[in-house]
Amino acid sequence: MSGCSNCGSGAGPLAEGRELVEFVYQAHGGALRNRPLPQGGLQTKCQGCNGEFILSTFVGCCPHCSGVHAVSPPRAHDAANIQYAGEDFVFSA
């Protein structure tokens, strides 16, 4: 994502965990977070409760425990790249 305005923050599309989730959530003024993933999403297991679900947008929540997960566009081809924000994660207003 060269030229990305959020990349100057220290976090970027290759960050991990909470840092990646926050990066993707804020990227491009928030326009990316609800954009559908290519090929209909990625089948995954929640890294919090281990429940199975499909991450269908770049930022999404587990339907079982509401754990927040995200993947960045350059890595959206593989479910192994999905990152988890952690049990205590809450989006700040």
Q: What's the one-letter identity of residue 27?
A: A
What pLDDT shows up at residue 10? 57
- Walk along the chain (93 residues) and give the pLDDT tens digit of each residue: 344 544 445 578 888 999 999 999 999 999 999 999 998 999 999 999 999 999 999 999 999 999 999 999 999 999 999 999 999 888 764
What pLDDT shows up at residue 9? 52
Which residue ranges make up each domain of the chain? 13-84
Q: 69 by DSSP, 3-state: which?
A: strand
Q: Is 30 left (phi over 0), alpha (psi -120 to 50) or beta?
A: left
Cα separation, 19 vs 10, in Å, equals 9
What pLDDT shows up at residue 5? 46
What pLDDT shows up at residue 92? 65
Q: Looking at the DSSP assignment, which residues form a beta bridge with residue 60?
A: 69
Copy the structure tokens of residue 68.
């927040």
Closest CA to 33 of 70, 79, 82: 70
The pTM is what? 0.85
Q: What's the one-letter identity of residue 72?
A: S
